[in-house]
A and B are shown apart, each in its own frame.
Chain A
Amino acid sequence: MATYDVHVIIENKPGISDPEGETILNDLVLKGTHSTVSKIKTAKMLKFTIKEKDKKTAQNKICEICDELRIYNPMVSKVSISVIEN
């Protein structure tokens, strides 16, 4: 068994509006001098630490947890998962 850090990023699906990101862009960043920024998207990140036999199992297990416990809503959100071995 090894310990893995699994990072889960939850963000709105592409094409769905993201009021928070748009507000940060328009009312904060572009109000300054940072005119080279063209887009900001907000997301939520969960960092899991998990003991599993390999990287693949760790990823699958976290995936299962997120689906089963409705950590995100598949109707609205896109999820990306990355695994780092400790």
Chain B
Amino acid sequence: MSLDPQELEDLTSKIGRKPSSTELQIVAAEWSEHCSYKSSKKHLKILPMDGPLVISEKGYDSGVLDVGDGYVVTAHIESHNHPSAVEPYGGAATGVGGVVRDILSAGTRPIAIFDGLRFGDIEKDRHARWLFKNAVSGIADYGNCLGIPTIGGEVEFDKCYTNYALVDVASVGFGKKENLVKNHANKGDLVVLLGGFTGRDGIGGSQFASDSLESEDRSAVQIPDPFIEKLIIEAILEARNQNLINAMKDLGGGGLSCAVSETADALSIGIEMDVDKVHTRESGMHPDEIMVSESQERMLLITNKTKLKKLQEICKKFRITCSVIGYVTSDSMMHVKKGKKTLANLPTDVVANANLLDRPSKKPAYLETIQKEKKLKPIPDYSKMMMKFLSSPNIASKIWVYGQYDHEVGIRTVVKPGNDASVLRLDNGKFLSVKIDGNPKQCYINPREGAIGCFEEACRNVVCTGAKPIGMLDHLQFGNPENPEIFWTFLESLQGLTDFAKFFKIPCVGGKVSLYNETPSGPIKPTPLVGVLGLIDEKPQMPQQIMNDDILVIIGNTKDEMGGSEYFEYIHKFIGGKCPVVDFAESKKNMNAVLSIIQKGLLKNVHDCSKGGLAVAISELCMINDIGCDVLLEKVPGEELDVDHVLFSETHSRYLLVLKQDNLKKLNAFLKKNKVSFNQIGKFDGRQIRFNKNSKNIIDLRVDKAQKTWINSLRELVVHG
């Protein structure tokens, strides 16, 4: 753990002397990419962060949105990729813990967890299966012990994550606006460290996350303890209710070093602290270790002398340890002592603000030829191929994963996992819909359009529940930013997200950048992940049982956009082709149309068309509802395409609507009036899923057989390999 020579020189000239060893440790933790965002911070400013519902306050670790009637929703996203790649159970679990504390530190109760998981090819790679299985257990055990439902997410497998793992966790909180912690501090206020003991685990974690895995010594593992976290949540919320907290921050990457310096910098104060006052798990810890330890389940609070006693009583009641480790000063210095001896005395703005970098970028050479399509091998039997496709790890039902998560606890979950997006009931009678989406396959082919596609997909998913998007979270995961080609893909994805957010007026309320995601065989594919929060004022679109004679309608054109599709990559083992491009105007028109139709109560079911294309989306409706369907592919609106493209192209802005025959007239009239591209493409009936083109049958599957394969294949693969 060290600074590079240039940074050491900067630090020396800024403080006008040689830094002490403790100072070096503190600054190395805080100036790591993980904590300082030194490569990305300059560029992130282009994202729109303001909106009518956004509440911003200094020092918040999560985004805050006003949902009316005096209530707020908070949201944050984080990843725990490096720790999960070496210890999937603990890494994933502590990832949940970290993001939950971010929600807590605004003064809101965490009400839901989401996770996005990515691993190597689990069909062939035993190690990838081991990572997958244990990361899922880690999330399940931690979330379930906390009593917070895990209600959504996504799972994807791609060779580019071989010997690695992407574990992204998002959390949503809810509370009263008046209870938000308004971070402030006065001279003489007390600095309190609350929660778990500080130990030698996770030392150097943030530095570790900023190096590629190959070069580090793999020692920074953290052990999760959800029961302490649960006690912390309850203790903090009680302290919040009694107005005992002036300011608060959770301890994450960089441990005390980052929490103390960032809090002091955000509030324009100084903090003097004594390492001897920190409650440690073992005796004889070096002060430097105490300052950078990333032991889990700890919170930093600022309170004052009169409030301290009540705070201590609450901690005693919940049996968690709290120590007064220092006090607030007015000199904007971070002063770390051991007893009377000074170990570090640094200006907080120097510690908390690393020199931002302007990294060079260059368009990667591979992009010149990647969009060229090769001639596909003819498929002798589409029905057989379709069965194989439905059982492939990326297409198969993820019930093995979300079935391990308690998604009901808290009794807010109105629309449950397994649908496009889950929906939570809020106390003011409104509903919140949240979804996270990523698509590295498309982002690899076109980082800008791919990122926009993830954003649109997340929007589509919440729109399918009847929710209007009100905010987004972005999580930008890339390889080593020192490589100009990788940095170019980062900038492109960021620009794409910014364009979409501005056009749709969806503010970015939080995010994270994770760089240096490198595996032994190279960088990961660009993996931006987008979370979208949607608000439903009245009632959500509840999925209803589809019956015989119900009608299937598609909204949106299907285009020749098969690049990065599951069909190309899984069936034809081909990486390349034309990446789907979102037409902003069409996207908006279709989104608004779907929201209006849902409000009119015309629909039984709404499903978005994404991974696996039309063929998979329709099959999913059939399998979930245990009913057959006759689909006429010649009726699908859009350009003239061959069967493969109509079935499997992953064009955005498409929605499948299911309705009773009686409502068809009204629907037609509305869509025509609004000039939305749509058509009736099928009718539900019987026990066979049939795709026909011009009276010729292309695919014919028995629903029960398809269902069995789709639901069980992922579990079979994990359990029996």
Contact = CB atoms under 8 A, between A and B. Distances in A.
Q: Do A and B come from one complex?
A: yes
Interface of A: 12, 15-19, 23, 70, 73, 75-76
Interface in B292-309: 295
A23 B196 CA distance: 13
Given A17-B225, A23-B227, A75 B201 contact: no
A17 B281 contact: yes
Contacts of B219: 75
Interface string B74-101: 0000000000001101100000000000
Interface in B120-138: 130
B199 A15 contact: yes
Contact of A75 (B86, B130, B199): B86
Given A73-B87, A75-B87, A19 B199 contact: no
Nearest to A20: B225
Contact of A16 (B89, B130, B199, B227): B199
Given A17-B281, A70-B130, A76 B197 contact: no
Contacts of A16: 199-201, 221, 223
B400 to A, nearest CB: 20
A74 to B, nearest CB: 9
A75 B218 contact: yes
21 contacts: A12-B223, A15-B199, A15-B200, A15-B282, A16-B200, A16-B201, A16-B221, A16-B223, A17-B196, A17-B197, A17-B199, A17-B201, A17-B223, A17-B225, A17-B281, A19-B224, A19-B225, A19-B227, A19-B228, A70-B130, A75-B221
Top 10 closest A-B pairs, CB basis? A19-B225, A15-B200, A17-B223, A75-B87, A75-B86, A16-B201, A75-B221, A76-B221, A76-B87, A16-B223
Nearest to B281: A17
A30 B694 CA distance: 78
Contacts of B281: 17
Contacts of A17: 196-197, 199, 201, 223, 225, 281, 295
Contacts, number: 38
Contacts of A70: 130
Contact of A76 (B196, B199, B223): B223
Nearest to B295: A17
Nearest to B86: A75
Chain A interface SS verdict (over half): loop
A17 B197 CA distance: 9
A76 B228 CA distance: 20
Given A17-B295, A18-B223, 12 more contacts: A15-B282, A16-B223, A17-B197, A17-B199, A17-B223, A17-B225, A73-B89, A75-B86, A75-B87, A75-B218, A75-B221, A76-B90
Contacts of A18: 223
Interface size classification for chain B: 20 to 34
Nearest to B90: A76
Looking at A15, A16, A76, which has the most chain B CB atoms within 10 Å of its CB? A16
A36 to B, nearest CB: 19
Contacts of A75: 86-87, 218-219, 221
A25 to B, nearest CB: 13
Contacts of B225: 17, 19
A75 B90 CA distance: 11
A16 B83 CA distance: 14
B81 to A, nearest CB: 15
A76 B88 CA distance: 11
A15 B227 CA distance: 20
Contacts of B295: 17
Contacts of B87: 73, 75-76
A40 B317 CA distance: 24
Most chain A beta-carbon neighbours within 10 Å: one of B223, B224, B228 = B223
A75 B222 CA distance: 10
Nearest to B197: A17
A18 B223 CA distance: 8
Interface in B182-216: 196-197, 199-201
Nearest to B228: A19
Nearest to A18: B223
A73 B130 CA distance: 11
B203 to A, nearest CB: 9
Contacts of B89: 73
Interface in B269-301: 281-282, 295
A42 to B, nearest CB: 12
A36 B282 CA distance: 18
Contacts of B221: 16, 75-76
A12 B221 CA distance: 11
B586 to A, nearest CB: 49
A26 to B, nearest CB: 8
A19 B218 contact: no
Nearest to A74: B218
A50 B542 CA distance: 58
Nearest to A27: B319
B201 A15 contact: yes
Nearest to B220: A75
A19 B223 contact: yes
A18 B282 CA distance: 12
Contacts of B227: 19, 23
A19 B281 CA distance: 11
A81 B96 CA distance: 34
